[in-house]
């Protein structure tokens, strides 16, 4: 509650930056790791604080409570490419490639998936990412915009399923596939979900 955000626009470079900014971001970094590997419940405030080499009470002072920490740690920007600017037939391939890059870039998406499965706040956040960032892209490519949500849902199912088996459950066959193989297999699927006439 009494977290003070009352600083006016820090100079980004040179100036004597407050130490707290470093610890704040250090907390976020280790929190992301913990949420990604342990899920919400097992990612305890104490464990996160220990990783960040500070006292658990600091986490509370900076982020209010555990929910606040999670909200701050896991904010997803898929930075989706504009599929409408591509040749229509390349949409599927562009989508898989982009997603694979996002998943391997950092652990935020893994954290979100692990938490979303057991924690309702996490699930809602996943849903908002889907609604605000994936569906609009589908709307730009789909033949009938009214079907955009359903088609985006099918794409999400395929992409999240791959992420689940590969990055979370670590099924050996899913882990063993090379990126190009995944793209080659999934691109036609997504292409069909996005642009094929509904069956």
Binding site for its own copies (CB under 8 A): 38-39, 41-42, 113-114, 116-118, 123, 126-127, 130, 149-150, 152-154, 156-162, 164-166, 168-174, 176-177, 181, 184-185, 188-189, 192-193, 199
Q: Which of 111, 112, 154 is nearest to 134 (CA)?
A: 154
Provide the 3-class DSSP secondary structure of residue 52: coil
Burial of 73 (0-12, 13-18, 19+ CB in 10 A): buried
Q: What is the DSSP letter of 5?
A: -
Cβ atoms of residues 108 and 32 within 8 Å? yes
Rounded to whole angstroms, the Cα distance separating 1 from 61 reads 8
Least distance (Å) between residue 133 CB and DNA: 28
Least distance (Å) between residue 90 CB and DNA: 45
Q: Which is nearer to DNA, 5 or 172 (CB)?
A: 5
Burial 113-123, CB ≥16 within 10 A → b, else e: bbbbeebeebe
Least distance (Å) between residue 122 CB and DNA: 14
CB atoms within 10 A of CB 89: 10
Least distance (Å) between residue 51 CB and DNA: 12
Least distance (Å) between residue 22 CB and DNA: 7
Among 10, 25, 37, 55, contact with DNA (rule: CB under 7 A): 55
Stretch 9-38: interaction string toward DNA, x if CB under 7 A = -------x-xxx--x---------------
Among 67, 82, 124, 181, contact with DNA (rule: CB under 7 A): 67
Cβ atoms of residues 18 and 9 within 8 Å? no
Judged by the rule CB under 7 A, the positions of this chain that interact with DNA are 4, 6, 16, 18-20, 23, 43-47, 53-58, 60-61, 65-67
């Amino acid at each position: 509650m009494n977290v003070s955000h009352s600083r006016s626009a820090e100079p980004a470079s040179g100036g004597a930056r407050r130490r707290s900014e470093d610890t704040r971001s250090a907390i976020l970094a280790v929190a992301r790791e913990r949420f990604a590997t342990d899920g919400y419940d097992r990612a305890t405030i104490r464990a996160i604080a220990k990783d960040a080499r500070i006292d658990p009470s600091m986490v509370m002072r900076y982020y209010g409570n555990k929910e606040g920490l999670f909200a701050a740690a896991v904010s997803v920007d898929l930075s989706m490419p504009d599929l409408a600017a591509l040749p229509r037939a390349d949409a599927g391939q562009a989508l898989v490639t982009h997603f694979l890059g996002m998943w391997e870039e950092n652990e935020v998406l893994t954290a979100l998936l692990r938490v979303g499965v057991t924690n309702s706040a996490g699930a809602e956040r996943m849903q908002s990412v889907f609604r605000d960032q994936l569906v609009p892209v589908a709307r730009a490519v789909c033949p009938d915009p009214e079907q955009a949500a359903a088609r985006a849902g099918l794409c999400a199912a395929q992409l999240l399923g791959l992420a689940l088996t590969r990055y979370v459950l670590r099924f050996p066959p899913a882990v063993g596939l090379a990126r190009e193989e995944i793209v080659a297999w999934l691109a036609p699927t997504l292409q069909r979900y996005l642009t094929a006439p509904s069956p």
